[in-house]
Amino acid sequence: MTLYLITFRSLTHAQRSARLLERSGLTAALIKTPPGLSSSGCSYAVTLRSRPEEALALLRKNNMRVGRLFRRGPDGSYEEAGA
């Protein structure tokens, strides 16, 4: 199954976003952004197993400050999936 990451600049935004997604029926987990995926140093991410476009639309609709969307490949590396 594919894993998606949505990055955030702050822990607070990531926590609020994860709770919003969970309340909306999307399974989400909070993690520290893997090294190399953030240009701002320390950041946090929310992981999803499916429906990343729906998650992004919901977050934007609720004025959450999302960063970038990544997809994990079969080899464990991440590629930007658009946003």
pLDDT of 7 strictly over 80: yes
- Cα–Cα distance measured from residue 59 to residue 61, given in angstroms and rounded to the nearest whole number: 5
Residue count (the chain): 83
Q: Which residue type, as a one-letter code, is found at position 20? A: L
Given pLDDT bands bounded at 50, 70 and 90, which one contains residue 82? confident
Q: Predicted confidence band at 4 (pLDDT cuts at 50, 70, 90)?
A: very high
Average pLDDT of the segment spanning 45-70 = 94
CB-based contact 59:71 (threshold 8 Å)? no
Is 19 or 1 the better-scoring residue by pLDDT? 19
Domains for the chain: give ranges and CATH numbers.
Answer: 4-80 (3.30.70.1940)
| % residues pLDDT > 90 (the chain) | 71
